């Protein structure tokens, strides 16, 4: 679509766009905020390059899209508890979020949006993959769509593969909350509350099984869905630079932080925005 106040450059036909001509350290008009939100709904992932923001400015920008939501397992910054550090240091081998997932789908009301602001990036590597879950749903056969429409996924925080990506940061700034305290059941096919489109809503990090089924019965179905929902034609690969600020829609997109920069440092500030109950 045409935008009156933005320059929008798609990254791929499926997902992602760069937004040009906007400085986020300034007060944004309601018209501009509305177009940014529309660009996000159109492209699922948007990135602003070369932004120079204080934490106050970053938070102010985020609040124009919804209320920030604290992450359950990590303390935020001392003066800004809604902002937490996502990092991998030079001596570490495992990165935070290094598997396909939708953020904290084990919550009753998972985040609507996630914002990630790059403070330090490796010289090469550390990209993030994103996958369009509208397309993941729409490219399934009609009988399979109908089959999935009656299922609900049991999402847990304690999947060992996901827990492993949090260990280093919890050691630095953990809240003390246990992973087995958080579990939520959500529809496998959710309807986006703003666009009305249907999206596949399971992920390999947190969806353990289907409600009413055993893990063994669920496993082959989930394995197929996990393989299907990250087909290359549904995806984009986003490279970071210092000052990049990326926003994505957790209701219809998944992401995977690529762990290919051992011996280098990557430091981001993340904000999640409160979402609704998937339906």
Catalytic residue ranges: 101, 103, 255, 270
Q: What are phi and psi of 86, to 5 degrees?
A: -110, 115
- In terms of DSSP H, where are the helices of the chain? 30-43, 55-63, 133-138, 142-149, 160-173, 215-228
The candidate with the shortest Cα–Cα distance to 117, out of 243, 16, 11, 28, is 243
Question: CB neighbours of 112 closer than 8 A, spacing ≥ 6?
Answer: 65, 66, 249, 250, 251, 273, 274, 275, 276
Report the phi/psi class of residue 21: left, alpha or beta, with left for phi > 0 and alpha for psi in -120 to 50. Answer: left
Dig out the tokens for 128 from the structure: 């993030």
Angle at 222 (CA atoms; ends 86, 230), nearest 5 degrees: 55
Q: Which residues contact 183 (CB under 8 A, 6 or more apart)?
A: 106, 154, 155, 156, 157
DSSP bridge pairs for 238: 128
The three-state secondary structure class of 68 is: strand
Are residues 158 and 104 in contact, defined by beta-carbon separation less than 8 angstroms? Answer: no
Q: Which two tokens stand for residue 29?
A: 């008009």
Fill in the DSSP letter of residue 229: T
4 vs 222: CA distance, rounded Å? 42
């Amino acid at each position: 679509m045409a935008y009156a106040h933005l320059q929008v450059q798609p990254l791929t036909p499926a997902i992602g766009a760069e937004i040009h001509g906007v400085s986020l350290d300034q007060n944004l008009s309601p018209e501009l905020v509305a177009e940014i939100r529309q660009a996000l709904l159109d492209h699922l992932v948007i990135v602003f390059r070369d932004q120079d923001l204080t934490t106050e400015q970053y938070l102010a920008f985020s609040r124009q899209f919804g209320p920030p939501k604290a992450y359950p397992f990590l303390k935020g910054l001392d003066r800004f508890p809604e902002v937490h550090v996502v990092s991998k240091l030079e001596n570490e081998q495992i990165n935070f979020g290094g598997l396909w997932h939708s953020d904290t789908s084990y919550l009753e009301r998972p985040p609507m949006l996630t914002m990630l602001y790059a403070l330090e990036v490796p010289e090469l590597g550390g990209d993030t993959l994103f996958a369009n879950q509208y397309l993941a749903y729409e490219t399934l056969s009609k009988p399979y769509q109908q089959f999935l429409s009656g299922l609900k996924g049991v999402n847990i925080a304690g999947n060992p593969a996901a827990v492993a990506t949090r260990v280093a940061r919890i050691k630095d700034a953990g809240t003390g909350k246990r992973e087995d305290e958080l579990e939520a059941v959500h529809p496998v096919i959710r309807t986006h509350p703003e666009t009305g489109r249907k999206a596949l809503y399971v992920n390999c990090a947190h969806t353990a099984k289907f409600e009413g089924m055993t893990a063994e019965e669920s496993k082959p179905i989930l394995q197929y869905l996990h393989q299907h929902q990250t087909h290359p034609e549904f995806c984009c690969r986003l490279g970071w630079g210092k000052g990049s600020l990326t926003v994505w829609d957790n209701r219809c997109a998944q992401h995977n932080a690529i762990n290919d920069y051992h011996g280098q440092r990557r430091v981001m500030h993340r904000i999640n925005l409160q979402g609704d109950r998937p339906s």
